[in-house]
Amino acid sequence: MTTRQSPATFTIADYELAAEERMSEDARSYIGGGAGGEITLRDNEAAWQRLALRPRSLGAPDGVDTRVQLLGLPRPHPILIAPTAFARLTHPDGEIGIARAAAATSTIMCLSTFASVNAAALADEVPGATRWFQLYVFSDRGVTRELVSAAAAHGYEALVVTVDRPVLGIRERELRAALREAEALGDDRPIDTSAVIDSHLRWSDIEQLAADSPLPLLIKGVLTAEDARLAAEHGAAGVIVSNHGGRQLDSVLAGADALPEVVDAVGDRLDVLVDGGIRRGTDVVKALALGARSVLIGRPPLWGLAVDGSTGARRVLEILLTELENALTLVGAPRTADLDRSFLTAAPWPAGAQ
Protein backbone atom coordinates (compact mmCIF):
# COMPACT_ATOMS: atom_id res chain seq x y z
CA MET A 1 0.00 0.00 0.00
CA THR A 2 2.52 2.53 -1.14
CA THR A 3 -0.03 5.31 -1.49
CA ARG A 4 -1.03 5.19 2.13
CA GLN A 5 1.57 7.44 3.58
CA SER A 6 3.31 10.29 1.92
CA PRO A 7 7.08 10.20 2.38
CA ALA A 8 6.94 13.68 3.87
CA THR A 9 5.12 12.77 7.08
CA PHE A 10 8.00 12.54 9.54
CA THR A 11 6.46 14.81 12.14
CA ILE A 12 3.09 15.71 13.56
CA ALA A 13 3.35 19.03 11.77
CA ASP A 14 3.67 17.08 8.52
CA TYR A 15 0.42 15.30 9.34
CA GLU A 16 -1.27 18.60 10.12
CA LEU A 17 -0.30 19.95 6.73
CA ALA A 18 -1.29 16.82 4.88
CA ALA A 19 -4.59 16.64 6.75
CA GLU A 20 -5.50 20.19 5.88
CA GLU A 21 -5.10 19.36 2.23
CA ARG A 22 -7.46 16.43 2.53
CA MET A 23 -10.17 17.62 4.88
CA SER A 24 -13.34 19.36 3.79
CA GLU A 25 -13.63 23.06 4.55
CA ASP A 26 -16.13 22.21 7.28
CA ALA A 27 -13.90 19.66 8.95
CA ARG A 28 -10.89 21.93 8.67
CA SER A 29 -12.80 24.78 10.32
CA TYR A 30 -14.25 22.58 13.02
CA ILE A 31 -11.01 20.85 13.92
CA GLY A 32 -8.57 23.63 13.30
CA GLY A 33 -10.43 26.62 14.67
CA GLY A 34 -10.40 28.27 18.05
CA ALA A 35 -12.35 30.93 19.88
CA GLY A 36 -12.17 34.66 19.21
CA GLY A 37 -8.92 35.92 17.78
CA GLU A 38 -7.30 32.50 18.34
CA ILE A 39 -4.57 33.92 20.54
CA THR A 40 -4.85 30.95 22.87
CA LEU A 41 -5.14 28.48 20.02
CA ARG A 42 -1.85 29.65 18.57
CA ASP A 43 -0.21 29.97 21.94
CA ASN A 44 -0.96 26.40 22.95
CA GLU A 45 1.86 25.23 20.69
CA ALA A 46 4.08 28.24 21.19
CA ALA A 47 3.99 28.03 24.98
CA TRP A 48 5.96 24.77 25.03
CA GLN A 49 8.65 26.51 23.00
CA ARG A 50 9.08 29.10 25.73
CA LEU A 51 10.63 26.40 27.88
CA ALA A 52 14.21 25.36 27.29
CA LEU A 53 15.65 22.01 28.34
CA ARG A 54 18.72 21.59 30.56
CA PRO A 55 20.05 18.18 29.55
CA ARG A 56 22.48 16.00 31.51
CA SER A 57 25.06 14.13 29.51
CA LEU A 58 25.66 10.48 30.24
CA GLY A 59 22.54 10.63 32.37
CA ALA A 60 20.72 7.60 31.06
CA PRO A 61 23.34 4.87 30.58
CA ASP A 62 20.82 2.09 31.18
CA GLY A 63 18.39 3.41 28.59
CA VAL A 64 15.05 5.02 29.14
CA ASP A 65 11.77 3.80 30.52
CA THR A 66 8.64 5.71 29.51
CA ARG A 67 6.36 4.15 32.14
CA VAL A 68 4.24 6.36 34.37
CA GLN A 69 1.82 5.91 37.27
CA LEU A 70 -1.64 7.21 36.49
CA LEU A 71 -4.55 7.09 38.95
CA GLY A 72 -2.46 4.60 40.90
CA LEU A 73 -1.89 2.25 37.98
CA PRO A 74 1.24 1.68 35.91
CA ARG A 75 0.90 2.77 32.29
CA PRO A 76 3.45 2.09 29.54
CA HIS A 77 3.80 5.76 28.57
CA PRO A 78 2.46 9.21 29.41
CA ILE A 79 0.48 9.98 26.23
CA LEU A 80 -3.33 9.83 26.04
CA ILE A 81 -5.82 10.62 23.33
CA ALA A 82 -7.91 13.63 24.31
CA PRO A 83 -11.66 13.50 23.79
CA THR A 84 -12.74 15.15 20.54
CA ALA A 85 -16.20 15.22 19.07
CA PHE A 86 -17.24 13.82 15.72
CA ALA A 87 -14.07 12.16 14.50
CA ARG A 88 -15.98 10.84 11.49
CA LEU A 89 -15.94 14.37 10.10
CA THR A 90 -12.36 13.71 9.11
CA HIS A 91 -12.42 10.06 8.03
CA PRO A 92 -14.97 7.22 8.00
CA ASP A 93 -12.74 5.24 10.38
CA GLY A 94 -13.76 7.76 13.02
CA GLU A 95 -13.35 6.98 16.71
CA ILE A 96 -13.09 3.27 15.98
CA GLY A 97 -10.02 3.98 13.91
CA ILE A 98 -8.50 6.09 16.63
CA ALA A 99 -9.23 3.43 19.23
CA ARG A 100 -7.44 0.83 17.09
CA ALA A 101 -4.46 3.16 16.87
CA ALA A 102 -4.60 3.59 20.64
CA ALA A 103 -4.76 -0.14 21.23
CA ALA A 104 -1.80 -0.72 18.91
CA THR A 105 0.32 1.73 20.88
CA SER A 106 -0.97 1.01 24.41
CA THR A 107 -2.42 4.49 24.54
CA ILE A 108 -5.42 5.37 26.69
CA MET A 109 -8.29 6.68 24.59
CA CYS A 110 -10.75 9.18 26.06
CA LEU A 111 -14.03 8.84 24.22
CA SER A 112 -16.09 12.02 23.91
CA THR A 113 -19.74 12.21 24.95
CA PHE A 114 -20.27 13.57 21.47
CA ALA A 115 -18.25 10.96 19.65
CA SER A 116 -19.60 9.61 16.39
CA VAL A 117 -19.93 6.27 18.18
CA ASN A 118 -21.23 5.47 21.64
CA ALA A 119 -19.33 3.99 24.53
CA ALA A 120 -20.74 0.50 24.18
CA ALA A 121 -20.13 0.24 20.47
CA LEU A 122 -16.53 1.35 20.76
CA ALA A 123 -15.86 -1.11 23.57
CA ASP A 124 -17.34 -3.91 21.48
CA GLU A 125 -15.38 -2.98 18.38
CA VAL A 126 -12.00 -2.39 20.01
CA PRO A 127 -11.94 -4.24 23.32
CA GLY A 128 -8.15 -4.07 23.42
CA ALA A 129 -8.03 -0.31 23.88
CA THR A 130 -7.74 1.10 27.38
CA ARG A 131 -10.59 3.56 27.58
CA TRP A 132 -11.64 6.59 29.59
CA PHE A 133 -14.98 8.32 29.06
CA GLN A 134 -15.34 12.07 28.68
CA LEU A 135 -18.59 13.24 30.24
CA TYR A 136 -20.59 16.36 29.69
CA VAL A 137 -23.05 16.65 32.55
CA PHE A 138 -26.47 16.95 30.94
CA SER A 139 -29.32 19.00 32.33
CA ASP A 140 -31.17 15.72 32.32
CA ARG A 141 -29.39 13.94 35.15
CA GLY A 142 -31.08 10.68 34.22
CA VAL A 143 -29.31 10.71 30.86
CA THR A 144 -26.10 11.65 32.65
CA ARG A 145 -26.42 8.64 34.94
CA GLU A 146 -27.06 6.38 31.96
CA LEU A 147 -23.90 7.65 30.28
CA VAL A 148 -21.87 6.95 33.39
CA SER A 149 -23.38 3.49 33.86
CA ALA A 150 -22.73 2.60 30.25
CA ALA A 151 -19.13 3.69 30.53
CA ALA A 152 -18.59 1.70 33.69
CA ALA A 153 -20.37 -1.32 32.29
CA HIS A 154 -18.21 -1.34 29.19
CA GLY A 155 -14.88 -1.20 30.91
CA TYR A 156 -14.06 2.49 30.76
CA GLU A 157 -11.64 3.11 33.60
CA ALA A 158 -12.17 6.77 34.43
CA LEU A 159 -14.55 9.65 33.85
CA VAL A 160 -13.22 12.89 32.41
CA VAL A 161 -15.71 15.60 33.35
CA THR A 162 -15.45 18.72 31.21
CA VAL A 163 -16.22 21.87 33.18
CA ASP A 164 -15.21 24.67 30.79
CA ARG A 165 -18.22 24.55 28.49
CA PRO A 166 -21.19 26.14 30.22
CA VAL A 167 -21.80 27.78 26.85
CA LEU A 168 -20.04 27.31 23.55
CA GLY A 169 -17.09 29.58 22.80
CA ILE A 170 -17.43 31.89 19.82
CA ARG A 171 -15.50 30.07 17.14
CA GLU A 172 -15.25 32.28 14.13
CA ARG A 173 -13.89 29.82 11.65
CA GLU A 174 -16.92 27.67 12.27
CA LEU A 175 -19.24 30.62 11.94
CA ARG A 176 -17.58 31.51 8.71
CA ALA A 177 -17.85 27.99 7.39
CA ALA A 178 -21.49 28.06 8.44
CA LEU A 179 -20.92 24.86 10.32
CA ARG A 180 -23.15 24.07 13.23
CA GLU A 181 -22.44 21.18 15.54
CA ALA A 182 -25.92 19.84 15.03
CA GLU A 183 -25.28 19.63 11.30
CA ALA A 184 -21.96 17.99 11.83
CA LEU A 185 -23.68 15.28 13.77
CA GLY A 186 -25.70 14.50 10.72
CA ASP A 187 -28.20 11.74 11.13
CA ASP A 188 -26.36 9.82 13.80
CA ARG A 189 -26.94 12.14 16.71
CA PRO A 190 -29.36 14.85 15.83
CA ILE A 191 -28.88 16.76 19.04
CA ASP A 192 -27.92 20.33 19.79
CA THR A 193 -25.03 19.97 22.18
CA SER A 194 -25.66 23.33 23.83
CA ALA A 195 -29.27 22.36 24.50
CA VAL A 196 -28.40 19.26 26.46
CA ILE A 197 -25.29 20.28 28.41
CA ASP A 198 -26.05 21.71 31.85
CA SER A 199 -24.85 25.31 31.76
CA HIS A 200 -25.63 25.81 35.42
CA LEU A 201 -23.27 23.25 36.89
CA ARG A 202 -21.91 23.84 40.42
CA TRP A 203 -19.03 22.26 42.31
CA SER A 204 -21.65 20.58 44.51
CA ASP A 205 -22.87 18.75 41.39
CA ILE A 206 -19.34 17.53 40.82
CA GLU A 207 -19.16 16.31 44.40
CA GLN A 208 -22.42 14.41 43.94
CA LEU A 209 -21.19 12.94 40.68
CA ALA A 210 -17.96 11.80 42.30
CA ALA A 211 -19.83 10.23 45.18
CA ASP A 212 -22.17 8.36 42.85
CA SER A 213 -19.63 7.33 40.24
CA PRO A 214 -18.14 3.85 40.20
CA LEU A 215 -15.18 5.37 38.33
CA PRO A 216 -12.58 7.89 39.41
CA LEU A 217 -13.27 11.45 38.21
CA LEU A 218 -10.86 13.74 36.42
CA ILE A 219 -11.90 17.39 36.03
CA LYS A 220 -11.00 18.71 32.60
CA GLY A 221 -10.78 22.43 31.94
CA VAL A 222 -8.86 23.66 34.97
CA LEU A 223 -6.49 26.60 34.40
CA THR A 224 -5.95 28.00 37.88
CA ALA A 225 -4.79 26.92 41.31
CA GLU A 226 -8.16 28.08 42.64
CA ASP A 227 -10.11 25.65 40.45
CA ALA A 228 -7.63 22.85 41.07
CA ARG A 229 -8.15 23.17 44.82
CA LEU A 230 -11.91 23.15 44.36
CA ALA A 231 -11.61 20.00 42.27
CA ALA A 232 -9.59 18.36 45.02
CA GLU A 233 -12.09 19.41 47.66
CA HIS A 234 -15.04 18.07 45.69
CA GLY A 235 -13.88 14.54 45.13
CA ALA A 236 -11.82 14.56 41.96
CA ALA A 237 -9.04 12.01 41.51
CA GLY A 238 -7.27 14.20 39.01
CA VAL A 239 -7.41 17.37 37.00
CA ILE A 240 -6.65 18.01 33.37
CA VAL A 241 -5.12 21.41 32.76
CA SER A 242 -6.78 22.41 29.52
CA ASN A 243 -8.22 25.35 27.64
CA HIS A 244 -10.34 23.11 25.44
CA GLY A 245 -7.90 23.39 22.57
CA GLY A 246 -8.29 27.15 22.52
CA ARG A 247 -11.94 26.71 21.55
CA GLN A 248 -13.75 28.22 24.52
CA LEU A 249 -12.43 31.52 25.94
CA ASP A 250 -9.76 33.28 23.98
CA SER A 251 -6.71 34.79 25.67
CA VAL A 252 -6.62 32.32 28.55
CA LEU A 253 -3.27 30.71 29.32
CA ALA A 254 -1.90 27.77 27.42
CA GLY A 255 -1.62 24.48 29.24
CA ALA A 256 2.13 24.86 29.52
CA ASP A 257 1.72 28.16 31.36
CA ALA A 258 -1.15 27.16 33.65
CA LEU A 259 0.35 23.78 34.58
CA PRO A 260 2.93 24.93 37.18
CA GLU A 261 0.45 26.69 39.45
CA VAL A 262 -1.91 23.72 39.31
CA VAL A 263 0.87 21.26 40.14
CA ASP A 264 2.01 23.48 42.99
CA ALA A 265 -1.54 23.68 44.35
CA VAL A 266 -2.67 20.04 44.15
CA GLY A 267 0.17 17.97 42.69
CA ASP A 268 0.70 16.20 45.98
CA ARG A 269 -2.95 15.19 46.23
CA LEU A 270 -4.20 14.67 42.69
CA ASP A 271 -2.90 13.44 39.39
CA VAL A 272 -2.38 16.47 37.17
CA LEU A 273 -2.52 15.99 33.42
CA VAL A 274 -2.28 18.60 30.69
CA ASP A 275 -3.38 19.01 27.11
CA GLY A 276 -2.98 21.68 24.44
CA GLY A 277 -0.34 22.11 21.80
CA ILE A 278 1.68 18.96 22.45
CA ARG A 279 3.33 18.28 19.10
CA ARG A 280 6.82 17.00 19.94
CA GLY A 281 8.49 14.52 22.22
CA THR A 282 10.27 17.44 23.84
CA ASP A 283 6.88 18.95 24.69
CA VAL A 284 5.99 15.77 26.59
CA VAL A 285 9.30 15.87 28.44
CA LYS A 286 8.63 19.49 29.42
CA ALA A 287 5.12 18.69 30.67
CA LEU A 288 6.44 15.85 32.82
CA ALA A 289 9.28 18.00 34.11
CA LEU A 290 6.72 20.62 35.17
CA GLY A 291 4.92 17.93 37.16
CA ALA A 292 2.26 16.51 34.84
CA ARG A 293 1.70 12.77 35.13
CA SER A 294 0.65 12.48 31.51
CA VAL A 295 -0.40 14.53 28.54
CA LEU A 296 -3.33 14.34 26.14
CA ILE A 297 -3.30 15.05 22.44
CA GLY A 298 -6.46 15.99 20.61
CA ARG A 299 -5.90 17.29 17.10
CA PRO A 300 -2.85 15.14 16.14
CA PRO A 301 -4.73 11.79 16.00
CA LEU A 302 -7.46 13.50 13.97
CA TRP A 303 -4.84 14.73 11.51
CA GLY A 304 -3.48 11.21 11.29
CA LEU A 305 -6.99 9.91 10.76
CA ALA A 306 -7.67 12.44 8.03
CA VAL A 307 -4.52 11.48 6.16
CA ASP A 308 -4.69 7.73 6.42
CA GLY A 309 -7.50 6.54 8.69
CA SER A 310 -6.56 4.40 11.63
CA THR A 311 -3.10 3.79 10.20
CA GLY A 312 -2.43 7.51 10.15
CA ALA A 313 -3.63 7.93 13.71
CA ARG A 314 -1.35 5.11 14.82
CA ARG A 315 1.57 6.60 12.93
CA VAL A 316 1.05 9.92 14.70
CA LEU A 317 1.20 8.15 18.05
CA GLU A 318 4.30 6.22 16.99
CA ILE A 319 6.06 9.38 15.90
CA LEU A 320 5.35 11.04 19.23
CA LEU A 321 6.45 7.97 21.19
CA THR A 322 9.66 7.68 19.19
CA GLU A 323 10.39 11.34 19.75
CA LEU A 324 9.64 10.95 23.45
CA GLU A 325 12.15 8.12 23.83
CA ASN A 326 14.76 10.07 21.95
CA ALA A 327 14.17 13.18 24.04
CA LEU A 328 14.27 11.27 27.33
CA THR A 329 17.57 9.68 26.33
CA LEU A 330 19.13 12.94 25.23
CA VAL A 331 17.87 14.94 28.19
CA GLY A 332 19.42 12.31 30.43
CA ALA A 333 16.39 11.26 32.47
CA PRO A 334 16.34 7.46 32.61
CA ARG A 335 12.87 7.27 34.11
CA THR A 336 10.05 9.74 33.62
CA ALA A 337 9.85 10.13 37.39
CA ASP A 338 13.42 11.50 37.37
CA LEU A 339 12.28 14.57 35.48
CA ASP A 340 11.82 17.66 37.58
CA ARG A 341 11.99 21.41 37.04
CA SER A 342 15.79 21.41 37.19
CA PHE A 343 15.60 20.05 33.63
CA LEU A 344 13.88 23.25 32.52
CA THR A 345 14.61 26.92 32.28
CA ALA A 346 12.71 29.82 30.74
CA ALA A 347 13.67 29.96 27.10
CA PRO A 348 15.81 32.99 26.31
CA TRP A 349 14.58 32.99 22.74
CA PRO A 350 11.34 34.71 21.75
CA ALA A 351 8.51 32.39 20.79
CA GLY A 352 4.90 33.21 20.83
CA ALA A 353 1.45 33.23 19.48
CA GLN A 354 2.07 35.75 16.80
Piece in contact with a second copy (CB under 8 A), picked from 91-99, 103-111, 144-152, 339-347: 339-347
Segment 152 to 171, residues that bind a second copy, using CB under 8 A: 163-164, 166-167, 169-170
Contact predicate 198/139, CB 8 Å: yes
Least distance from a second copy to the Cβ atom of residue 47, Å: 7
CB closer to a second copy, 84 vs 162: 162
Q: Which of 2, 62, 74, 268 binds a second copy (CB under 8 A)?
A: 62
CA distance 79 to 253: 21
Query: Looking at this protein, which amino acid is placed at residue 350?
Result: P
Piece in contact with a second copy (CB under 8 A), picked from 16-24, 37-45, 66-74, 87-95: 37-45
CB closer to a second copy, 39 vs 263: 39
Q: Which of 109, 206, 263, 306 binds a second copy (CB under 8 A)?
A: 206
Burial of 17 (0-12, 13-18, 19+ CB in 10 A): middle
Least distance from a second copy to the Cβ atom of residue 175, Å: 5
Q: Tell me which DSSP letter residue 85 carries.
A: S
Contact predicate 324/295, CB 8 Å: no
Burial of 121 (0-12, 13-18, 19+ CB in 10 A): middle
Q: Which of 28, 91, 280, 293 binds a second copy (CB under 8 A)?
A: 280
Contact predicate 249/243, CB 8 Å: yes
Residues forming the active site = 244
The answer to whether residue 247 forms part of the interface with a second copy (CB under 8 A) is no
The answer to whether residue 331 forms part of the interface with a second copy (CB under 8 A) is yes
Q: Which of 16, 93, 257, 308 binds a second copy (CB under 8 A)?
A: 257
**Beta strands 68-70; 73-75: pairing state:** antiparallel
The answer to whether residue 57 forms part of the interface with a second copy (CB under 8 A) is yes
Contact predicate 40/34, CB 8 Å: yes
The answer to whether residue 8 forms part of the interface with a second copy (CB under 8 A) is yes
> Residue 83: how many CB atoms within 10 A of its CB?
26
Kindly write out the interface string for residues 166-205 of this chain, putting x where it contacts a second copy by CB under 8 A and - elsewhere.
xx-xx-x--xx----------------------xxxxx-x
Piece in contact with a second copy (CB under 8 A), picked from 109-117, 125-133, 247-255, 302-310: 247-255
**Beta strands 51-53; 344-346: pairing state:** antiparallel
Q: Tell me which DSSP letter residue 114 carries.
A: T
Least distance from a second copy to the Cβ atom of residue 91, Å: 25
Cα atoms found within 13 Å of the Cα of residue 23, Cβ hemisphere only: 26
CB closer to a second copy, 85 vs 230: 230
The answer to whether residue 4 forms part of the interface with a second copy (CB under 8 A) is no
Least distance from a second copy to the Cβ atom of residue 320, Å: 12
Least distance from a second copy to the Cβ atom of residue 118, Å: 26
Segment 296 to 325, residues that bind a second copy, using CB under 8 A: 322-323
148-165 per-residue burial string, b: 16 or more CB within 10 A, e: under 16? beebbebebbbbbbbbbb
Q: Which of 68, 70, 118 lies closest to 285, judged by CA? A: 68
Piece in contact with a second copy (CB under 8 A), picked from 77-85, 127-135, 187-195, 251-259: 251-259
Contact predicate 272/292, CB 8 Å: yes
Least distance from a second copy to the Cβ atom of residue 97, Å: 26
Contact predicate 53/285, CB 8 Å: yes
Q: Which of 29, 32, 38, 50 binds a second copy (CB under 8 A)?
A: 50
